[in-house]
Homo-oligomer: A and B are copies of this chain.
Amino acid sequence: MDISGSTRVFLILGDPVEQVRAPEVFNQQFRKHGVDAVLVPARVAPADLPAFVTQAFKARNIDGLCLTVPHKTLVMPLLDRCDALGRVTGAVNAARRNADGSIEGALFDGIGFTRSLAADGVAIAGARVLVIGAGGAGVAIAASLAQRGAARVALYDKAAGRSAAAVAALAAPCGPAIVEAGSADPAGYDIVVNATPLGLEAGDPIPVDVARVDAGAAVVDILMKNQPTPLLRACRARGVAAHAGFGMLAHQMPEYLEFFGYPEIAAALRADLSEVSALLAA
């Protein structure tokens, strides 16, 4: 699609923003479906975020914002409405201007993760899950797994207060399935998720003892960089099923597009994500 004066505009805000993949994926889909819309990056410093977001939504053809580090949390005070998962984790992936002028946010990290697991053939219903790391991603993943029928989701963080706080916050939206884990020991779990940054830096310890992962369990590492990550390599060396976090990103795309008002693209992507996955893997 060529950009014209009538093109609808979306922005992805980050600081830095050079690393984001969203423009490639969104614009691929807009083009494919003949939608006259475009997503462009904007590098906005944290101190400038509130005024920037307020002004961006004043433009009548800027319909939505994607948010990446560090703006997923900083945008929260600017929202008039937010989905339950966003409120619990204190972070959103996207914000849009509704027809009534209100600004609404939503977090897709959790649903992206569970859809990705399902697509990889990992059963969630009835599963015993260990999530390591109770930051924003870990909390969203734990909540989504509980909401999709996991029998028990144990949340571990080396800062014990952090996992206790997350378990308390998730009690209302997710019920009693989410509990605090006493340790990072993966024994006895069907699904083990690394939601910590361990593996980004050379010399980081591997976040779980792979030798103690159950035979038949699935290990997922949400890190995007350094593929295959040290955890995934250790799993594969032992013959443990290991999944990279890419899928989580690809499976968020239908949610973004539905949220931004393009249900037909969302439906097409839910039926076939192969193009998006190929683009993200490239």
Report A's interface with B, CB cutoff 8 A: 2-7, 9, 12, 14, 16-24, 27, 38-45, 48, 51-52, 54-56, 58-62
In the bound complex, do residue B17 and residue A2 qualify as a contact, i.e. CB atoms below 8 Å apart? Answer: no
Give the CA-CA distance A54 to B9 in the complex, in Å. 19
Q: Measured between C-beta atoms, what is the minimum distance from A19 to chain B in Å?
A: 6
Q: 16 other contacts beyond A43-B59, A44-B58, with CB at 8 A cut-off?
A: A2-B23, A4-B18, A4-B41, A5-B14, A5-B16, A5-B22, A5-B41, A17-B61, A42-B62, A44-B59, A44-B60, A45-B58, A51-B54, A52-B59, A54-B55, A55-B55
With both chains docked as a complex, state the minimum distance between the C-beta of A220 and any C-beta of chain B, in angstroms: 25
The contact of A52 among B4, B6, B18, B58, by CB within 8 Å, is B58
Contacts of A48 in B (CB 8 A): 55, 58-59
Contacts of A20 in B (CB 8 A): 4-5
Please tell me how many copies of the chain the complex holds.
2
Complex-state Cα separation, A23 to B54, whole angstroms: 24
Contact assessment for A5 and B27 in the assembled complex, using a CB-CB cutoff below 8 Å: no
Max chain B Cβ within 10 angstroms of own Cβ: one of A42, A51, A54, A56: A42
A60 vs B56: C-alpha distance when bound (angstroms): 15
Q: Select the residue from A24, A27, A43 with max chain B CB neighbours within 10 A.
A: A43
Q: Find out whether the CB atom of A24 lies under 8 angstroms from the CB atom of B4.
A: yes
Q: A17-B61, A58-B48 are in contact. Are A27 and B43 (CB under 8 A)?
A: no
The minimal Cβ–Cβ distance linking A257 to chain B, given in whole angstroms, is 17
**Bound-state Cα–Cα, A75 to B242, Å:** 56
Q: Provide 16 A-B residue pairs closer than 8 Å at the C-beta atoms, listed in order of the A residue.
A: A2-B24, A3-B40, A4-B20, A5-B14, A5-B16, A5-B20, A5-B23, A5-B41, A7-B40, A38-B40, A42-B59, A42-B61, A44-B60, A52-B58, A52-B59, A55-B56
A27 and B4 CA atoms in complex are apart in Å by 10
Contact of A5 among B19, B51, B54, B60 (CB under 8 A): B19
With A56-B55, A58-B52 given, is the CB distance from A38 to B5 under 8 Å? no
How far, in Å, is A281 (CB) from chain B's closest CB? 16
